[in-house]
Every structure is written in structure tokens, then in C-alpha cells.
Amino acid sequence: MKKVMVINGPNLNMLGVRERDVYGTDTLEEINERLRKLAGKLKLEIEFFQSNAEGEIIDKIHSCYKAYDGIIINPGAYTHYSHAISDAIKSVDIPAVEVHLSNIHRREEFRKNSVIAPSCIGQISGFGAYSYNLALYAIANYLNA
Ligand code: DQA
């Protein structure tokens, strides 16, 4: 079975509490539980990781080398400036999908640029918690192609 790692960056542990008008009311646990069910239907193994620290996210990406077939990542605000996370994704050579709950392209100017996107096979942004489902469908499709 193909294995997918879902990585969430800073402040995403606060989903359900944090700016609910922007990010919705689901907690990260609720989102992950739905993803776990969907992964079962798609015949994928899935694991979850969340950290507020850039280095821990980079270490987790490195640990996926030769261990995971796909990565789904919501880098939070690191999206907009962490060249180190972007390099980490490139260095493990694992197909990655970038995810955002909000549509980063219709928000503040600084959110419109992702330094992570060039390291990913694609980006999904703006569908709330359902963005994660779409990312899992996308990676499943990519891995089965
Ligand atoms: C986010 C968008 C980022 O700009 C923001 O810093 C986040 C969440 C999203 O999922 O919409 O933390 O990645």
C-alpha cells in the first residue's frame, strides 16, 4: 500500500478556535479523522504530523525519504517565506501537494506568493477543510498513474 504523510505547520493546531471566519470551525483532529476514512477508501496508508517549528517540519520531511510515497503539506505562514521547507521537499524527491484552507490568492498581498509551490506537484487552496480531501484525491490519482 502506498503511504502518505500529512504535515501541518504553525498555528494549524489551533483550527476550530483560530479565526473561524477564515478557517472554519473544524479542528485539526476532525479534519485528520475524515482524511483517515478517505485514505481507507482510497487504499492508502496515512500518517499525520503537526509542528509549529520549522526545523521539526524539515526533519519530518527528511524522515519521509524512502519511507513515504507522497506528502500533503499545509505549511501555514511558512508558505510565504520558508525556502528551507521548500528545499527539504525538493531534497527528498517525494511528490508533494500544497494545501490551504483559505484561498491565499484572494487575501493579503504577502499571502499570494508561495515559495513552497515550485517544489510541489500542485497546490489546492480555498476549499476550507475539504482542501485536504482534494489533496488526498490528487495524490492518490498521481500515485496510481
Ligand atoms: C493557510 C494560509 C496561510 O497564509 C496562513 O498563514 C495559515 C493558514 C491556510 O491554510 O489557508 O496559517 O496556510
- For this structure, is 100 an active site residue? yes
pLDDT of residue 57: 99
User: From the CA of 38, how far away is ligand 1's center (Å)?
Assistant: 23
Give percent helix, percent strand, percent coil of the chain, each to the nearest 5: 50, 20, 30
Confidence (pTM): 0.98
Q: Is 53 in the pocket of ligand 1 (CB under 6 A)?
A: no
pLDDT of residue 66: 98
Q: Where are the alpha helices (DSSP H) in 42-124?
A: 54-63, 83-92
User: From the CA of 5, how far away is ligand 1's center (Å)?
Assistant: 19
- For this structure, is 23 an active site residue? yes
pLDDT of residue 51: 98
> Which residues of the chain register pLDDT less than 50?
none
pLDDT of residue 111: 98
Residue-range domains of the chain with CATH: 2-144 (3.40.50.9100)
Q: Is 123 in the pocket of ligand 1 (CB under 6 A)?
A: no
pLDDT of residue 63: 98
Span 27-53, pLDDT tens digits: 999 999 999 999 999 999 999 999 999
Q: Is 139 in the pocket of ligand 1 (CB under 6 A)?
A: no
